[in-house]
C-alpha cells in the first residue's frame, strides 16, 4: 500500500509520571491538531535560537495580569527573545507589579456593581485595586514631567526610562520593563496612548510627545538589519507592528525576505478576517514573512500555550549560548 500521502505514521503520545514539558511536546510531535502545532512551535523556537537571528516577541492580551510577567523576564534573561513589542496594558501592569502591587485571584462569577463600589477592577477572573492604579498614574505622570526633556520620545526611549524608574522603586521584584532596561532590550508600544500609561500622561501639566513614526522607522531598520524570528502571543497591535516592519521595507525598496521563523499563540480564527487571526500563509502574500519560513500557528489561550512552550525551549536550550553572545 505504498502511497505518497502516507509517509509518516502518527505516533500516539505516551504519558508517564514525572514527564517534563519538553518530553510532553516531543510526544505531541507525532500527534495531531493543536497539540502537534504546540510541539512544532517549541521545535521552531529552539532551532531558531541556534541561528544568528533576532527574536521579536509581540505581546498582546492581558498577559501580565494573567501571571506571565516573570516568564517574559525569564525569556529575556535566558536570551530567548531580543526585542519586545507590547500593548500598553501589559507594560503598565508590569510596572505596577514591579513596584510592589500584585494582582489578585478573582472570579468572573461576581457582582461587578459590588466591585465598582469597592473600587476593584476586574480582568476576567483577576482583580486589581483601583486606588493603586490611580496613585501610580499620578506618580508616573509626575515622574514624566519632572524628568523628561522637552522633546518627542520614541516609545522605545520612553519605556527604557520607565523601566529604570520601575527598577528604582522595586523592592526586589523583577519586571519586564526593568529587566529590558537593564539588558538593553528594546521595548516598543505602538498604541501607548491607549493604556493607563496614556491616562497617566494625560493628567500632566506638560504634555509628553511620542515620536510614533520614529518607532516605525526604527523597527523597520532593525528588521532589515538582521534575519528574524517572530513570536506572536495574541494578535493586536504588537502582531501588526512587527509584521509591518517588512511591509515598510518593501515600500522603501529595501531588500528584505520576510521573517524566517514564526510562531503564534492566538485565539482568533483566520475566518474572521482580522489581523489578529491571520495565518502565516496570508503574511507571505504581503512579504511579511519569508516564503520558506519555518512557522507554526497554535490556536490556544496563551496562558496555557506560552508556559508549556517556554518551559520546553528553556529545557532544550539549557547550557547553550546564543550565536555570537
Which three cell numbers, joined as nine digits, stand for 126?
483577576
Q: Is 196:88 a contact under the CB 8 Å cutoff?
A: yes
Contact pattern for its own copies over residues 122 through 141, marking x by CB under 8 A: xxxxxx-xxxxxx--xx---
- What cell numbers appear for 106 in the block? 478573582
- 30 makes contact with its own copies (CB under 8 A): yes
- CB-CB contact of 266 with 2 (8 Å): no
> Which residues are CB-neighbours of 314 under 8 A, at least 6 positions away?
74, 78, 80
Nearest of 140, 135, 138, 134 to residue 158 by alpha carbon: 140
Quick one: which of 4, 172, 184, 255 contacts its own copies (CB under 8 A)?
4
Instruction: Return the residue of 13, 139, 161, 182 that touches its own copies, per CB under 8 A.
Output: 13
In the complex, minimum distance from the CB of residue 148 to its own copies, in angstroms, rounded to a whole number = 12
Which residue in the set 50, 52, 116, 183 belongs to the binding site for its own copies (CB under 8 A)?
Answer: 116
Indicate the residue among 178 and 276 with the shorter CB distance to its own copies: 276
Judged by beta carbon, residue 138 or residue 168, the one nearer its own copies is 138
Q: Between residue 177 and residue 216, which ones bind its own copies under the rule CB under 8 A?
A: 190-196, 198-203, 207-216
Report the distance separating Cα 104 and Cα 122, nearest Å. 9
Question: Out of 171, 207, 288, 320, which one is annotated catalytic?
Answer: 288
Per CB under 8 A, contacts with its own copies among 153-182 are none
Minimum CB separation of residue 267 from its own copies in Å reads: 5
Q: Is 224 in the site for its own copies (CB under 8 A)?
A: no
Q: SS3 for 113?
A: helix
The footprint of its own copies on this chain (CB under 8 A) covers a number of residues equal to: 145
Residue carrying the nine cell digits 499563540: 265
305 binds its own copies (CB under 8 A): yes
Residue whose CB is less far from its own copies, 255 or 271: 271
Distance CA 201, CA 247 (A): 31
Query: Which residues in the 242-271 window bind its own copies by CB under 8 A?
Result: 244, 247-248, 250-252, 267-271
Rounded to an integer, what distance in angstroms lies between the CA atom of residue 57 and that of residue 49? 13
CA 311, CA 130: separation in Å to the nearest integer?
A: 33
Cβ atoms 312, 47 nearer than 8 A? no
- Whether 288 is catalytic: yes
Q: Is 74 in the site for its own copies (CB under 8 A)?
A: yes
Q: Which residues are catalytic?
A: 288
Amino acid at each position: 500500500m505504498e502511497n505518497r500521502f502516507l509517509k509518516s505514521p502518527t505516533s500516539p503520545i505516551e504519558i508517564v509520571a514525572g514527564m517534563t514539558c519538553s518530553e510532553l511536546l516531543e510526544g505531541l510531535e507525532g500527534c495531531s491538531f493543536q497539540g502537534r502545532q504546540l510541539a512544532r512551535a517549541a521545535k521552531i523556537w529552539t532551532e531558531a535560537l541556534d541561528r544568528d537571528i533576532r527574536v521579536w516577541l509581540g505581546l498582546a492580551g492581558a498577559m501580565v495580569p494573567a501571571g506571565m510577567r516573570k516568564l517574559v523576564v525569564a525569556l529575556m534573561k535566558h536570551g530567548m527573545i531580543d526585542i519586545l513589542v507590547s500593548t500598553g496594558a501589559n507594560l503598565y501592569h508590569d510596572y505596577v507589579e514591579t513596584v510592589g502591587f500584585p494582582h489578585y485571584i478573582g472570579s468572573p462569577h461576581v457582582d461587578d456593581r459590588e466591585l465598582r463600589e469597592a473600587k476593584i477592577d476586574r480582568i476576567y477572573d483577576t482583580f486589581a485595586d483601583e486606588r493603586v492604579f490611580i496613585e501610580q498614574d499620578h506618580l508616573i505622570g509626575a515622574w514624566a514631567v519632572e524628568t523628561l526633556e522637552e522633546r518627542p520620545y520614541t516609545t522605545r526611549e520612553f519605556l527604557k526610562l520607565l523601566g529604570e524608574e520601575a527598577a528604582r522603586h522595586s523592592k526586589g521584584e523583577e519586571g519586564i520593563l526593568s529587566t529590558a532596561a537593564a539588558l538593553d532590550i528594546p521595548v516598543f508600544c505602538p498604541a501607548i496612548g491607549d493604556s493607563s500609561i496614556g491616562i497617566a500622561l494625560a493628567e500632566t501639566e506638560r504634555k509628553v510627545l511620542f515620536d510614533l513614526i520614529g518607532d516605525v522607522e526604527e523597527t523597520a531598520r532593525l528588521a532589515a538589519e538582521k534575519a528574524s524570528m517572530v513570536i506572536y502571543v495574541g494578535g493586536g497591535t504588537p502582531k501588526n507592528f512587527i509584521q509591518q516592519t517588512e511591509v515598510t521595507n518593501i515600500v522603501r525598496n529595501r531588500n528584505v525576505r520576510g521573517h524566517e521563523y514564526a510562531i503564534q499563540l492566538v485565539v482568533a480564527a483566520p475566518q474572521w478576517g482580522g489581523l489578529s487571526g491571520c495565518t502565516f500563509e496570508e503574511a507571505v502574500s504581503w512579504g511579511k514573512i519569508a516564503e520558506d519560513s519555518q512557522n507554526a500557528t497554535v490556536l490556544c489561550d496563551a496562558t496555557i500555550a506560552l508556559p508549556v512552550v517556554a518551559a520546553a525551549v528553556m529545557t532544550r536550550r539549557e547550557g547553550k549560548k546564543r550565536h555570537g553572545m
